[in-house]
Amino acid sequence: MRVLITGIAGGLAREVAGILVREGDSVVGVDYRAVAPGAPLPESVPIFRAHYYKTAIEDVFRQGPFDAVLHLGRVGNLSERAEKRFNLNVVGSKKVLSLCVAQGVKRLVVLSTFHIYGAHQHNHTPISEEDPLRAGLDFPQIADAIQLDAISAELVYRHPEMGTVVLRPTNVVGRTIQNTMSSLLRLGRVPKLAGFNPMTQFVHASDLARAVVAAMRGEGRGVFNVAGPTELPWATAIDVCGAKALPVPSSLVSLYVKTMTAFPAYLVNFLKFPCVITDAAFREQFGYAPRLSMRETLADLRPS
């Protein structure tokens, strides 16, 4: 297959590209960011730099036609200006998806996030794909991710011929991943809110990469959660990562987040309340299961 991957500067996209090249596929990568020199990426993968909402992305699609597009370029970095993040996640994604329809792409995989469910004291366990999205009620910072998910999910029904799969993975971690959760757990002292120890989930980037490839090669379509091997308490996760818990009084957590970390405010609730998802539907539809245990998943964050 000839495959276009967005977000190729990220660790997950590079993992996916490596799998596809080893399996004989032809891969093209694009990102609005520069790919760092020495990034672990097969030499056969041509890299283009383009913002997804500008006309340059149309030139990238002219490198096709593509059999599949893996839109892994969701911007979760809140240090980006809100307008730029909205343009990339919403306007840009809509443009990418429209180009997929116009080109007759057969398989489309879009990376969303379980954060759109929100961590809430009234959440039941586990959360399935049919459950409501609570995150946008309190935190506008996640609104662009919810819109990306919605416009992608709409394609499932509007263009069934394309075979669209929207993935909502739990916390993605790994040595090559630079997201907020991985960075937090790499700290020597990791915050734990006094009086709270919610159940948490993690999926290793290598397992999520396999899930993305399974979704691309499969025949199912729809919205699917992707979880890790099991769930565990936040305090236990800190311990398995080789870090120490840093007790933070709940009354001071907002001040701590603003002054001591780059942790987005909407994620604070994930340190207080559970957001445990089920990926039973994805496992059944695509014959997927994570290969790494939870201990192996989190141990990859330990200092080498």
pLDDT tier for residue 248 given thresholds of 50, 70 and 90: confident
pLDDT at 38: 62
- pTM attached to this predicted model: 0.94
pLDDT digits (tens, 9 = 90+) for 30-51: 999 988 766 678 888 999 999 9
The interaxial angle of helices 205-217 and 11-22, nearest 10 deg, is 50
- If you ran DSSP here, which 8-state letter would residue 36 be given? P
Helices 143-158 and 93-103, packing angle to 10 deg? 20
Tens-digit pLDDT profile for residues 103-127: 999 999 999 999 999 988 888 899 9
Please confirm whether the linkage preceding 126 is cis (ω < 30° from 0): yes
Predicted local confidence at residue 257, as pLDDT: 62
Q: Which domain holds residue 168?
A: 2-178+203-228+278-289
How many domains, the chain?
1
* CATH number for the domain that contains residue 284: 3.40.50.720
Better pLDDT: 254 or 268: 268
Residue predicted with more confidence, 41 or 300: 300
Q: Is residue 99 part of a domain?
A: yes
238 domain residue, yes or no = no
89 found inside a domain: yes
The phi and psi torsions of 212 (rounded to 5 degrees) equal -60, -45
Mean of pLDDT over the chain? 90
| Residue 139: pLDDT over 70 | no
Region 266-272: mean pLDDT is 83
pLDDT score of 291 more than 80? yes
pLDDT, position 256? 65
pLDDT at 134: 84
User: How far is 274 from 59, CA to CA, in rounded Å?
Assistant: 43
Q: What average pLDDT does this structure show over 259-265?
A: 63
Residue 119 maps to a domain: yes
CA angle 182, 266, 276 (to 5 degrees): 65
Specify if 273 maps to a domain.
Answer: no
Peptide bond between residue 65 and the one before it cis (omega within 30 degrees of 0): yes
In-domain check, residue 129: yes
pLDDT beyond 60 at 260: no
**H or E stretch at 182:** helix 180-185
Most confident of 117-126, 185-194, 218-227: 218-227
Please compute the mean of the pLDDT values over residues 7-13 and round it to a whole number: 93
Look at residue 83 and tell me whether its pLDDT is greater than 90.
Answer: no
In a domain, 154, yes or no: yes
